[in-house]
Amino acid sequence: MSTSEPHARFSSRLPSAENGHDARSRQAARVVNLRKEYHLGGNNIVHALRGVSLDFPEGDFVAIMGQSGSGKSTLLNLLGCLDRPTSGQYFLGGQDVSRLSDYELSRVRGRLLGFIFQSYNLIPQLTVVENIQAPLFYQGRVGGKETERCVRLATMVGLRERLDHRPFQLSGGQQQRVAIARALVNNPRVILADEPTGNLDSQTGEEIMRLLEALNESGRTIIMVTHELDIAQRAKRVVVMRDGLLEAAH
Ligand SMILES: Nc1ncnc2c1ncn2[C@@H]1O[C@H](COP(=O)(O)OP(=O)(O)OP(=O)(O)O)[C@@H](O)[C@H]1O
Ligand SMILES: [Mg+2]
């Protein structure tokens, strides 16, 4: 595996990202002074985010790094509409989603976002195709057309020969490919990934990164948390969190 090649591709993509900023391209997402407190009873309050402001232009590929406990997953969960901030604003596709009800948040999630987790989060009883299709089941979309689309997605991530396998019959990298195909099933503009290569060996991690890069090149915005510097350097930019704040904001 060559290490110079990914960096060459990394730098060759930089100019277009910068042009995007110059042209004030549309924002895929934007957070303004985002705070998150966890109240644990009595005076015990954890200030997990202490005022984070960050813009994500369309087509961005950003890696979020930082020490354990610095607030990365908290930020990603808010960006993923899995939780609401204590204060601050979150604009997704131009709409302020920071005060929506749980039901409205789940609709926004289904329409605009795709998730990839470190531990894949597949449903053990379901096959590859059924796992990819799972988000559509919840929307009552169960027809043959949908199944065909899921087979195409499985093929795209290299699992054409594994359509009827269950998660325990797949390698870690293959399971993560299923999770990526599942994240794409609603054709989201923004993909959120929390340590997508965290459980994989470096070569399999490399394959997953190539898939994420291809998705980014097709126009999707990718926001990825990682502990690994070489993985982070594959993104277009890196932001570092420290103690609930962005380091760059100091
Ligand atoms: N549900 C919760 N209730 C109370 N405190 C929480 C909760 N979730 C996170 N925290 C606290 O908020 C802070 C930020 O946690 P977070 O999970 O965002 O860190 P992280 O940067 O993702 O860390 P890691 O790299 O270990 O995954 C930590 O101090 C954590 O203990
Ligand atoms: Mg975390």
The pLDDT of residue 144 is 86
Rg (CA), the chain: 18
The pLDDT of residue 142 is 80
Higher pLDDT, 245 or 27: 245
Q: What digits encode the pLDDT tens for the residues 165-220?
A: 999 999 999 999 999 999 999 989 999 999 999 988 888 889 889 999 999 999 99
Terminal CA-CA length for the chain: 37
CA distance 19 to 139: 38
Nearest CA to ligand 1 atom 29: 69
Give me ligand 1 centre to Cα 26, in Å.
31
Q: What digits encode the pLDDT tens for the residues 113-122?
A: 999 988 899 9
The number of beta carbons lying within 10 Å of the beta carbon of residue 166 is: 16
Nearest CA to ligand 1 atom 19: 69
pLDDT band per the 50, 70, 90 thresholds, residue 7: very low
Name the DSSP class of 84.
-
The CATH topology of domain 4-249 is: Rossmann fold (3.40.50)
Q: Which ligand has its closest atom nearest to the C-alpha of 49? A: 1
CB 173, CB 200: distance < 8 Å: yes
Instruction: Please choose from 40, 67, 72 the residue to mutate so as to test ligand 1's pocket, defined by most ligand atoms within 8 A of CB.
Output: 72
* pTM score: 0.86
Q: Which ligand has its closest atom nearest to the C-alpha of 82? A: 1
pLDDT band per the 50, 70, 90 thresholds, residue 164: very high
Mean pLDDT to the nearest integer, 64-82: 95
Domain boundaries, the chain: 4-249
The pLDDT of residue 250 is 38
The pLDDT of residue 248 is 64
Short-list 80, 30, 18, CA closest to 55: 30
Give me ligand 1 centre to Cα 79, in Å.
15
Measured over the CA atoms of residue 238, residue 106, residue 153 and residue 196, the dihedral's sign is positive
Which of 13-27, 36-50, 61-75 is the least confident region? 13-27
The pLDDT of residue 20 is 37
Nearest CA to ligand 1 atom 3: 38
Give me ligand 1 centre to Cα 225, in Å.
13
- Residues with a CB atom less than 6 Å from ligand 1: 38, 40, 46, 48, 66, 68-74
Q: What digits encode the pLDDT tens for the residues 26-46?
A: 889 999 999 999 999 888 999
